[in-house]
């Protein structure tokens, strides 16, 4: 039987080729659809990104890598400063309270018995600066600033993987503050004696000196420190609202109690406890009362707090029309910018008189901003030749970083509310102009200065090697005690441990810097400086603006 062979190009071959061509055309069709879709998406992205912000932050796009890197380093100083652990006799919580995920290899548990003599667990919190003191006033300010940074720029922190670190650092402080508030009208505000502490030079892990406690109460009031602690807890309650509602509610309850205590028993802690005047002496408490009430209004939407800062106490405490410098002691500029936020975006059911008060805060905030802009008619002369804001020799970087942080916030409020310009004596400035000033300050800190030195330890090629910091300056295997540890203060060798993220005090007015551990004025870092820098950098890592409400 003869087998029939289909010639080349026959029916089966044609079917095979047709099937192959069908798949080829399908591939071309799908590829074409993808190309068109990609083009449409690109056009839409360009269109929407070129429009003014709607007020809802997008995922950060163009990130500034230098600020991302600096933010990651700055965040580490909170770990450097942690007082770590829980009291040794709390067996069930001991392992949970010890340092977990330690990012600073040369730090270990310390202060495990803080508060034990009073039956209080004060083992957390953070050391203030280069010493081993826990000062509640600046520590609470650190927490408030860090909360503010997270609330405004948490999405940007998250995009660069720093949000979890920020939450952890904030909670380390607020855990301490909760324990320090032992009853409605009693707040522990200090662990350690400055004289005893400063007469020693030793690592926190090995210190054996006594650490007495100081409290404010109805007999010895401390309105400013109680109100600042209330502000810290109120702002943090919003940070943790979605993460842990129970913890958030606990913080808010403490905040309300502390504000009532601060307002009812008015008195400066510097007067009540005169021995505290040498360190963090307060210039008054009116600003802290307004600061705390502002944060409580945002946390609760209770109009009584809004009335407190406007109709009730605005004329008494607000210093409208008199701009000043934001710091751990002066919250007025912070209050003005924070309440400007409410004025920009509106508040529910406000009265005419309340709106008038909010407008006065905003006007004063703009006076403060105008002083900072270098070519404004009202520009301050308190700056170096290169343009760094310079107010005081001690910790000279505090004010430029704090000022730049507030300026970035205000710039973003303008963008989000679609406010095109700010007027300074008739001259208009755009949000980009405000941002440019903030960038000039942070760039100076990061190394664009006459001495080409980064004042953020661990960042850049050159940064201070002789930081005035006990733990950083003493080798981890040293066996020195209180007095003989001073040999490390006077050692000619650089610090053996890098205090990553530390912002040193800063340069002289003539823009020189002496890298010496013996100069606490210029070489000592502080926890609140790092909080302000974290807030500033978080606002600069991308071009996203802020949402219209804290949620």
CA distances (Å), 70 to each of 67, 427, 447, 452, 541, in order? 5, 34, 11, 16, 10
Q: What span, in angstroms and rounded, lies between the C-alpha atoms of 251 and 167?
A: 14
How does DSSP classify residue 53?
Answer: P
DSSP 162-215: -HHHHHHHHHHHHHHHHHH--BTTBEEEEES-HHHHHT----TTT--S---EEE
Q: What span, in angstroms and rounded, lies between the C-alpha atoms of 284 and 538?
A: 30
Is the model more confident about 118 or about 18?
A: 118
Q: What span, in angstroms and rounded, lies between the C-alpha atoms of 446 and 462?
A: 10
pLDDT of residue 7: 37
447-456 tens-digit pLDDT: 999 999 999 9
Tell me the pLDDT band of 444, cut-offs 50, 70 and 90. very high
Tell me the pLDDT band of 544, cut-offs 50, 70 and 90. low
Task: Identify which of 241, 339, 227 has the alpha carbon closest to the alpha carbon of residue 285.
Answer: 227
Which helix (H) or strand (E) segment holds residue 216: the answer is: strand 213-216
DSSP 151-170: HHHHHHHHHTT-HHHHHHHH
Q: What span, in angstroms and rounded, lies between the C-alpha atoms of 530 and 524?
A: 12
- Contact between 268 and 224 (Cβ < 8 Å): yes
- Contact between 190 and 135 (Cβ < 8 Å): yes
Mean pLDDT of 370-380: 97
| 522 is an active site residue | no
| pLDDT for residue 31 is more than 70 | no
Tell me the pLDDT band of 15, cut-offs 50, 70 and 90. very low
Give the count of beta carbons closer than 10 Å to the beta carbon of residue 114: 26
| pLDDT for residue 153 is more than 80 | yes
| CB < 8 Å & 24+ apart, contacts of 485-488 | 485/200, 485/201, 485/202, 485/203, 486/201, 488/201
pLDDT of residue 545: 63
pLDDT of residue 233: 98
| pLDDT for residue 123 is more than 80 | yes
| pLDDT for residue 144 is more than 50 | yes
CA distances (Å), 220 to each of 199, 211, 215, 325, in order? 27, 20, 8, 28
What number of CA atoms fall less than 13 Å from residue 331's CA on the CB side?
32
Mean pLDDT of 132-151: 98
What number of CA atoms fall less than 13 Å from residue 54's CA on the CB side?
5
Task: Identify which of 333, 409, 342 has the alpha carbon closest to the alpha carbon of residue 367.
Answer: 333
Mean pLDDT of 65-91: 81
| pLDDT for residue 262 is more than 90 | yes
| pLDDT for residue 23 is more than 90 | no
State which fold the 59-98+105-540 domain adopts: Glycosyltransferase (1.50.10)
199-212 tens-digit pLDDT: 999 999 999 999 99
Domain residues of the chain, as ranges? Answer: 59-98+105-540
pTM: 0.87
- Contact between 372 and 403 (Cβ < 8 Å): yes
320-338 tens-digit pLDDT: 999 999 999 999 999 999 9
- Contact between 296 and 326 (Cβ < 8 Å): no
pLDDT of residue 62: 74
Residue 263 tokens, joined: 């307002």
The sign of the torsion formed by the CA atoms of 523, 525, 530, 531 equals negative
Tell me the pLDDT band of 548, cut-offs 50, 70 and 90. low
158-207 tens-digit pLDDT: 999 999 999 999 999 999 999 999 999 999 999 999 999 999 999 999 99
490-532 tens-digit pLDDT: 999 999 999 999 999 999 999 999 999 999 999 999 999 999 9
| pLDDT for residue 271 is more than 70 | yes
pLDDT of residue 347: 81
Mean per-residue pLDDT of the chain? 88
How does DSSP classify residue 422?
Answer: E
pLDDT of residue 346: 82
Task: Identify which of 166, 213, 153 has the alpha carbon closest to the alpha carbon of residue 189.
Answer: 213
Mean pLDDT of 387-416: 97
Q: What span, in angstroms and rounded, lies between the C-alpha atoms of 293 and 317?
A: 12
Active-site hit among 165, 181, 254, 468: 468
Return the CA Rg of the chain.
Answer: 28
Mean pLDDT of 458-474: 97
- Lowest-pLDDT choice from 14-18, 133-137, 304-308: 14-18
- Pairing verdict, β 134-135 and 187-191: antiparallel
The sign of the torsion formed by the CA atoms of 313, 319, 324, 329 equals negative
Instruction: Give the 3-state secondary structure of 476-517.
Output: CCCCCCCCCCHHHHCCCCCCCCCCCCCECCCCCCCCCCCCCC
């Amino acid at each position: 039987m003869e087998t029939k062979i289909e010639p080349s190009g026959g029916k089966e071959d044609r079917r095979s080729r047709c099937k192959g061509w069908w798949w080829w055309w399908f591939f071309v069709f799908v590829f074409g659809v993808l190309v068109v879709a990609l083009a449409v998406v690109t056009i839409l992205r360009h269109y929407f990104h070129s429009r003014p912000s709607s007020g809802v932050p997008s995922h950060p796009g163009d990130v500034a890598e230098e600020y991302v890197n600096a933010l990651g380093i700055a965040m580490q100083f909170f770990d450097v400063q942690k007082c770590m652990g829980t009291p040794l006799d709390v067996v069930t919580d001991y392992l949970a309270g010890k340092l977990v995920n330690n990012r600073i290899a040369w730090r270990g548990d310390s202060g495990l018995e803080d508060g034990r003599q009073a039956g209080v667990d004060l083992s957390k919190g953070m050391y203030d600066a280069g010493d081993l003191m826990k000062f509640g006033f600046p520590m609470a300010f650190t927490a408030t600033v860090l909360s503010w940074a997270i609330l405004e720029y948490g999405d940007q922190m998250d995009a660069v993987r720093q949000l979890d670190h920020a939450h952890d650092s904030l909670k380390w402080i607020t855990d301490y503050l909760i324990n320090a508030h032992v009853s409605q009208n009693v707040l522990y505000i200090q662990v350690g004696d400055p004289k005893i502490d400063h007469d020693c030079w030793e690592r926190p892990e090995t210190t054996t000196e006594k650490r007495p406690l100081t409290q404010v109460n109805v007999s010895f009031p401390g309105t400013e420190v109680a109100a600042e602690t209330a502000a810290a807890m109120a702002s943090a309650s919003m940070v943790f609202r979605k993460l842990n509602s129970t913890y958030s509610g606990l913080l808010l309850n403490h905040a309300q109690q502390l504000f009532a205590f601060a307002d009812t028993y008015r008195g400066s802690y510097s007067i009540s406890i005169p021995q505290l005047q040498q360190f963090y002496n307060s210039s008054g408490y009116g600003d802290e009362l307004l600061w705390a009430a502002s944060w409580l209004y945002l946390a609760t939407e209770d109009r009584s707090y809004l009335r407190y800062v406007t109709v009730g106490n605005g004329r008494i405490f607000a210093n409208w029309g008199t701009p000043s410098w934001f710091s751990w002691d002066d919250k007025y500029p912070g209050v003005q910018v924070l309440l400007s936020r409410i004025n920009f975006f509106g508040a529910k059911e406000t009265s005419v008189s309340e709106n008038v008060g909010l407008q006065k805060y905003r006007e004063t905030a703009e006076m403060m901003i105008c002083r900072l802009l270098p070519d404004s008619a009202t520009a301050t002369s308190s700056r170096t030749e290169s343009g760094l804001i310079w107010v005081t020799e001690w910790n000279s970087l505090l004010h430029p970083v704090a000022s730049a942080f507030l300026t970035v916030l205000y710039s973003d409020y303008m963008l989000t509310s679609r406010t095109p310009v700010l007027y300074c004596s008739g001259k208009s400035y755009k949000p980009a102009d405000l941002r440019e000033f903030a960038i000039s300050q942070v760039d100076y800190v990061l190394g664009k200065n006459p001495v080409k030195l980064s004042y953020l330890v661990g960042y850049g090629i050159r940064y201070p090697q002789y930081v005035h910091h006990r733990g950083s300056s003493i080798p981890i295997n040293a066996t020195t005690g209180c007095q003989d540890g001073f040999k490390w203060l006077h050692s000619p060798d650089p610090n053996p441990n890098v205090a990553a993220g530390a912002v040193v005090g800063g340069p002289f007015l003539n823009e020189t810097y002496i890298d010496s551990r013996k100069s606490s004025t210029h070489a000592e870092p502080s926890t609140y400086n790092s909080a302000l820098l974290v807030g500033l950098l978080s606002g600069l890592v991308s071009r996203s603006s802020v949402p219209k409400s804290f949620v």
